[in-house]
Chains A and B, each alone.
Chain A
Amino acid sequence: MFRAVIQITLRPSILDPQGKAVAHAVGTLGVNGVRSVRMGKHVEVTFDGVSEDEARRATDEMCKKLLANPVMEDYRFTLEKVQ
């Protein structure tokens, strides 16, 4: 089995008001030195009965067509073997 661990983040050009609100709260918490906070999504997909190559291709396709919207988001992922 393979597990794809996917990170989806807003593109740098997109304003992230949620991240800004969290950064503000972090400041209130008393933590210093935080320059910015960006929020994103973490997705894990487990594959069974397919090769590593197939899992990689499938993950890339589902990221492109469903999990991320390329107009506003970037994605990256790693693939790991699981028992």
Chain B
Amino acid sequence: MQSPVRFGIVVFPGSNCDHDAYHVCRKVLGQDAVFLWHKDPDLKDVDVVILPGGFSYGDYLRCGAIARFSPVMREVTRFAESGGPVLGICNGFQILVEAGLLPGVLLRNASLRFACKNVHIRVENPFTPFTTACAAGEVLTIPIAHGEGNYFADEETIHRIEENGQVAFRYCAPGGEITADSNPNGSLGNIAGIINERGNVLGMMPHPERAADPLLGFTDGQKVFASIIEHVLSRVTPGAVEEVAAVTGEKGRR
């Protein structure tokens, strides 16, 4: 059997979704996972890095602004630049934009309210390492929980990421229509998640790790993890994709 994919979950002071991500990787999907303390000088040979949600450094100054200077982020940046998959969820997304690994910025929600609810997101690009288990245009139900998720970038940047297919997910109505009503935070173009130009770094405000354990009633989030697993295994050994299906089994796919 293929050895399991090793996820590294970075723990900053104030991270609070790290254990959820760990639980999903290990207990739900049967993979390997380790915590990476923010002061760790190395990434312990992980295949994937997850920057989890939370309130790193109390969201002081700007969300994610202090975390990006953590020692571990130097290694995360190096890992991302060498093509390693990096997934930033919620606060992790904010850290990625502050670190310059993703373009744009996450402003205060237009409503000024913390938004905590299940939302629908449409898969805009099913060819990223994070979305191959999804169909193009597929609608996923995944919760959000943030006060600063209002994606903004200047016109030129928006144009570029749209042209490059860097928008991974958009907030949508249950049927997949992109509407103002389904936008929970005022994000430009209903953007819920973007990838970098190379495609190996994804930032998303919704929490796939909170929609992965069947016990919680939603499992759409598993698709993000299943896609990553598939990506890592297929990169290691061509033709290992079938084995991924065996590893993730029914859980990873519908």
Chain A residues with a Cβ under 8 A of chain B: 13-15, 17-18, 21, 66-67, 69, 71-72
Which of B72-80, B102-110, B204-212, B217-225 lies on the face that meets chain A? B102-110
- Pairwise interchain contact A17-B108, C-beta atoms closer than 8 A: yes
> How far apart are the CA atoms of A15 and B187 in the complex, in Å?
12
Q: A17-B110, A71-B153 are in contact. List 20 more A-B contacts (CB 8 A).
A: A13-B154, A14-B107, A14-B152, A15-B107, A15-B110, A17-B109, A18-B112, A21-B112, A66-B61, A66-B65, A67-B61, A69-B62, A69-B65, A69-B98, A69-B105, A71-B97, A71-B104, A71-B152, A71-B154, A72-B105
Decide if the interface of chain B is mainly helix, strand, loop or mixed.
loop
Decide if the interface of chain A is mainly helix, strand, loop or mixed.
loop
Interface size on B, residues (CB 8 A): 18
Chain B residues with a Cβ under 8 A of chain A: 61-62, 65, 69, 97-98, 104-105, 107-112, 152-154, 186
Name the B residues within 8 Å of A18 (CB-CB): 108, 112
Name the A residues within 8 Å of B97 (CB-CB): 71
> How far apart are the CA atoms of A15 and B111 in the complex, in Å?
12
CB distance from A72 to the nearest CB of B (A): 5
- Pairwise interchain contact A72-B107, C-beta atoms closer than 8 A: yes
Closest residue of chain B to A71 (Cβ to Cβ) is B105
Q: 23 A-B Cβ contacts within 8 A? A: A13-B154, A14-B107, A15-B107, A15-B110, A17-B109, A17-B110, A17-B111, A17-B112, A17-B186, A18-B112, A21-B112, A66-B69, A67-B61, A69-B65, A69-B98, A69-B105, A71-B104, A71-B152, A71-B153, A71-B154, A72-B105, A72-B107, A72-B152
